[in-house]
Amino acid sequence: MDAVLHSIFQKVQNAERIDAADCLALFESNDLLSLGRIANVVRERKNGNRAYYNINRHINYSNVCYVDCKFCEFGQPKSSAKAYELSMEEMKRLGQEAAAQGATEFHIVGGLHPDLKLDYYENLLKTFKSVAPQVHLKAFTAVEIDYFAKISRLEVEEVLQRLVAAGLGSMPGGGAEVLTERVRKLVCINKSSGQRWIDIHRIAHKMGLRSNATLLYGHVENSQDKVEHLQMLRDLQDETKGFQTFIPLSFIPYDTQLAHLPPTTGLSDLKHIAVSRIFLDNFPHIKVYWIMTGIKIAQLALNFGADDIDGTVMQERIVHMAGAQTPEGLHVEELVRLVREAGREPTERDTLYNLVSRSAA
Ligand code: V47
């Protein structure tokens, strides 16, 4: 371990907070094993030997989206042959099927649809609650919430209050991409600003909602952008304590407008897990999203800072439309096997990290 990493290691061992310059040094280092060793100290201090997973289903009501982010192939204009909208009947069926398989969470997100109104989204949540009242609804990114506020000419608080009344339980971490304006201008110029994303999570947290945060890495961003992104998240978390989990998302380029970029590497995937675990000292959990990293890297990540391996997902569309080669869902037995083999203790959780115990069948 070189002198710079060694001094960061000492701070972490003494539970001292590292600063933005330290974070930059971590991103600039390729000494992966040392990064993992440092991250593991934080990971085990916070979560011991546990590795969390859940039984969840992703449901993407529609991919119609007017925004046209360069990294996203899921969002399509209404006229595209790839555009779709699920019917309420179909969504009921998906909800019932997942609930019968023991799902405790539906993760519901979609594009920014030019025609749907706020009552559609309220109805959507009510429909899921009517078929599976016990299942937690983690729904709508801050970008969707911002859009709902614009189209309904309501304040964000009121939109969230109406959605909570319809069954909203918490918010996922999508739409953050890279929060700096430099990167947003390059890859998602039509989207809510990074500051707006932060402000909406602040409002949600102040209303008592929990949420997650993400970072989309491996495209046009540099290390400085990522440090600023993590700093914005850490600052908000100091203020509200409303974030549960941070999820670094590795960019899948194949069928996107950025197809000329190379895919991320194993080294880079594990580095992002480790650096975020070390810097985000006020986030309880770091999740490795196996859908994007692949199962093999996800398993290794459990010893490089991650304490959560996400869930069964059942049907992933966002990055599979971008050409991801990973499975679209996993059986819970497979998740448990991966965790055990990594030497961690598989721990089923619900969305809010309450432990779930199931009696053996
Ligand atoms: O916001 C879009 C990203 C996100 C691509 O909160 C891409 O628990 C890689 O946020 N390659 C949605 N990523 C997914 C997401 C998420 C996933 C799992 C759990 C949680 C949680 C949140 O996917 C988008 C965008 O950043 N994305 N296109 C792509 N080609």
Distance 319 CA to ligand 1 centre (A): 8
User: In this model, does residue 260 exceed pLDDT 70?
Assistant: yes
Q: Does residue 319 form part of some domain?
A: yes
Cα dihedral: 156, 233, 55, 47 (round 10): -140
Q: In ligand 1, which atom is closest to the CA atom of 171?
A: 6
Ligand 1 centroid from CA 214, angstroms: 7
Structural domains counted in the chain: 1
Residues 276/42, Cβ–Cβ less than 8 Å: no
> Which residue's structure tokens are 């555009």?
83
DSSP annotation of 140: -
Q: What is the model's pLDDT at position 332?
A: 95
Distance, CA 40 to ligand 1 centroid (Å)? 25
Mean pLDDT, rounded, of the chain: 97
Q: Which residues on adjacent β-strands are paired with residue 248?
A: 215
Q: Which atom of ligand 1 is nearest to the CA of 74?
A: 28
Residue 168 in any domain: the answer is yes
Question: Among 168, 249, 291, which is best to mutate for testing ligand 1, by the most ligand atoms less than 8 A from CB?
Answer: 249
Pocket test for ligand 1, best of 112, 318, 330, 350 (most atoms within 8 A of CB): 318
Alpha-carbon distances, residue 294 vs 289, 291, 297, 324 (angstroms): 8, 6, 6, 9
**CA 81 to each of CA 69, 78, 84, 144, 183: distance values in angstroms, whole numbers, following the listed order:** 18, 8, 8, 23, 29
List beta partners, residue 76: 64
The Å distance, Cα 351 to ligand 1 centre, comes to 17
Q: State the distance from the centre of ligand 1 to the C-alpha of 247, rounded, in angstroms.
A: 9
Residue 231 pLDDT: 98
End-to-end alpha-carbon separation of the chain, Å? 49
Q: Sorting pLDDT into bands at 50, 70 and 90, what band is 359? A: confident
What percentage of the chain has pLDDT greater than the value 90? 97
Centroid of ligand 1 to alpha carbon of 249 (angstroms) = 6
The angle formed by the CA atoms of residues 226, 229 and 234, to the nearest 5 degrees, is 125
Atom of ligand 1 nearest to the CA of 143: 1
Nearest CA residue ID for atom 12, ligand 1: 174
pLDDT in tens, 170-202: 999 999 999 999 999 999 999 999 999 999 999
Whether 361 is covered by a domain: the verdict is no
Q: What is residue 180's DSSP assignment?
A: S
Q: Ligand 1 mean position to 248 CA, how many Å?
A: 9
Nearest ligand 1 atom to alpha carbon 177: 26
Copy the structure tokens of residue 283. Answer: 């986030």
Query: Which pLDDT belongs to residue 360?
Result: 63
Where does the pLDDT of residue 13 fall: very low under 50, low under 70, confident under 90, or very high at 90 and above?
Answer: very high
Q: What is the CA radius of gyration of the chain?
A: 19
CA of 43 to the centre of ligand 1 (A): 23
| Cα–Cα distance, 255 to 148 (Å, whole number) | 29
Does the residue 315 lie in any domain? Answer: yes
The answer to the question of residue 360 being in a domain is no
For residue 174, the CA-to-ligand 1 centroid distance in Å is 5
Domain range for residue 134?
Answer: 3-348
Rounded distance between C-alpha atoms, residue 345 and residue 173, angstroms? 25
CB 137 within 8 A of CB 167: yes
If you average pLDDT over residues 270-292, what whole number do you get? Answer: 98
Query: Would you say residue 358 lies in a domain?
Result: no
Q: Are 168 and 139 in contact (CB under 8 A)?
A: yes
Residue by residue, DSSP assigns 311-353 as E--S---TTTTTT--S-S---HHHHHHHHHHTT-EEEEB-TT-
Residue pLDDT, tens place only, 306-343: 999 999 999 999 989 999 999 899 999 999 999 999 99
Q: Whose CA is nearest to atom 13 of ligand 1?
A: 251
Please give the distance, rounded to the nearest whole angstrom, from the Cα atom of residue 156 to the centre of ligand 1: 22
Question: 285 and 245 in contact (C-beta within 8 Å)?
Answer: yes
Tens-digit pLDDT profile for residues 26-72:
999 999 999 999 999 999 999 999 999 999 999 999 999 999 999 99
Evaluate whether residue 311 is within a structural domain: yes
Closest atom, ligand 1, to C-alpha of 292: 9
Mean pLDDT of 198-224: 98
CATH number at residue 344: 3.20.20.70
Let me know if residue 48 belongs to a domain: yes
- pLDDT score recorded for residue 361: 54
Within the chain, strands assigned E span: 50-54, 56-59, 105-108, 136-139, 168-171, 210-217, 243-250, 285-286, 308-311, 345-348
| Cβ < 6 A, ligand 1 pocket | 71-72, 172-175, 177, 212, 214, 216, 247, 249, 251-252, 256, 289, 292, 310, 318-319, 322
Summarize pLDDT for 93-104 with one digit per residue, the tens: 999 999 999 999
- Buried b / exposed e over 315-349, threshold 16 CB at 10 Å, is ebbbbbbbebebeebbebeebbebbeebebebbbb
> Which atom of ligand 1 lies nearest, measured to the CA of 258?
30
Give the pLDDT of residue 222.
98
Predicted confidence (pLDDT) at residue 281 exceeds the cutoff of 70: yes
Q: Is 355 left (phi over 0), alpha (psi -120 to 50) or beta?
A: beta
